[in-house]
Amino acid sequence: MFNYAPMYGVLMAFENFSPVKGILGSPWAGLKYFDRFVHSYQFSALFVNTLGLSLYLLLASFPLPIILALTFNRVRGRAARGAIQTISYAPHFISVVVVVSMMSILLSPTSGLVNLLSQSLGGKAVNYLAEPSWFKTLYVASDIWQHTGWNSIIYFAALSAIDPELYDAAKVDGAGAWLQVIRIELPCLAPTIVVLLILNTGSIINVGFEKTYLMQNALNLSSSEVIATYVYKVGLQSLQYSYSAAIGLFTNVISFVLLAAVNLFARRVGGASLW
């Protein structure tokens, strides 16, 4: 069993423990860089963009998989349900690069299908990807498109674990489909919902670098620059390692504290918890 011990060491080298060594090896700067970040002129914009994007994403996309799972659960034909599920999960397997390119093709101001359609209905062509005001919506919408089906799996699994006797009892008592959803299915989903909500709040500040970076351009930068992309630019493009690392650590600490707080709250209120 202890043969595995050295392996742990190798693995951890890529995670969060050895980076500390690198930091300790260099002269001590105290909280200088943290201070610089909090007082820098981009700070408020970055913070607002990051939080705005992730809250928007959370609020808009979180309930949808639940609804979808409830819906799938009611589709009667097994084959039909399987087919619909297969289709709805599919986008999850497409890479971010391809999703963003599909957006840029479909939304192109000159030849994109969306603009052609709105123009034929008398609308004006909009260069969606270059408009700061559209950035968040596009980000969220494409995320919903890509992941809603996949995220519904977990709820669907919880739904299929419900004892059929509960439904029979409900029918005897004259409860229709709506009541069954509210009184049987939602309560059964509640623990899953809480756990996923907690996990999601943990990542509020670390909103996805990959897609943001790909969707970013000089025109929409005012709303698309988030902390994650800023860390990348400051750190690896302008090589201000310590400053960038400080920002990264700062956000990690915040999201960890946030996660712990939400978890504590959930445990107090509902008895559900991550650990």
Partner 1 sequence: MARRIKTGDLAFDLIVFLICAVTVVAVAYPLYFIVIASFSDPVAVRSGEVWLSPKGATLEGYRRIFENERLWRGYLNTILYTVAGSFFGLAVTIPPAYALSRRDFRLRKPLNFYFIFTMFFSGGLIPTYMVVNKVGLSNSAWVMIVLWGFNTYNMIIARTFFESNVPSELLDAARIDGCGTTRFFLKIVLPVSQAVISVIFLFNVVWKWNEYFTALIYLRDQALMPLQIVLREILLQNDMFRNGQGASGASTIANLGDLIKFGIIIVSTVPVMVLYPFLQKYFQKGVMIGAVKG
Q: What residues have CB less than 8 Å from 252, skipping those under 6 apart?
A: 206
Judge whether 125 and 118 are in contact, CB under 8 Å: yes
- Residue entry with tokens 């959930």: 266
Distance CA 155, CA 259 (A): 22
User: What tokens does 223 get?
Assistant: 């709303």
Query: Is 55 or 153 the residue whose CB approaches partner 1 more closely?
Result: 153
Rounded to a whole number of angstroms, the minimum distance from the CB of residue 99 to partner 1 is: 9
Rounded to a whole number of angstroms, the minimum distance from the CB of residue 249 to partner 1 is: 6
Distance CA 49, CA 60 (A): 16
User: What tokens does 153 get?
Assistant: 């799996």
Rounded to a whole number of angstroms, the minimum distance from the CB of residue 87 to partner 1 is: 5
Rounded to a whole number of angstroms, the minimum distance from the CB of residue 111 to partner 1 is: 4
Query: Is 57 or 99 the residue whose CB approaches partner 1 more closely?
Result: 99
CA 87 to chain centre: 21
Query: Is 56 or 203 the residue whose CB approaches partner 1 more closely?
Result: 203
User: What tokens does 14 get?
Assistant: 């890529």
Rounded to a whole number of angstroms, the minimum distance from the CB of residue 161 to partner 1 is: 9
Query: Is 16 or 27 the residue whose CB approaches partner 1 more closely?
Result: 16
Rounded to a whole number of angstroms, the minimum distance from the CB of residue 67 to partner 1 is: 7
Number of other residues whose CB lies within 10 A of the CB of residue 130:
14
Query: Is 223 or 251 the residue whose CB approaches partner 1 more closely?
Result: 251
User: What tokens does 15 get?
Assistant: 């995670």
Query: Is 8 or 41 the residue whose CB approaches partner 1 more closely?
Result: 8
User: What tokens does 239 get?
Assistant: 């090589």
Distance CA 128, CA 115 (A): 9
Map residue 182 onto helix, strand or coil.
helix
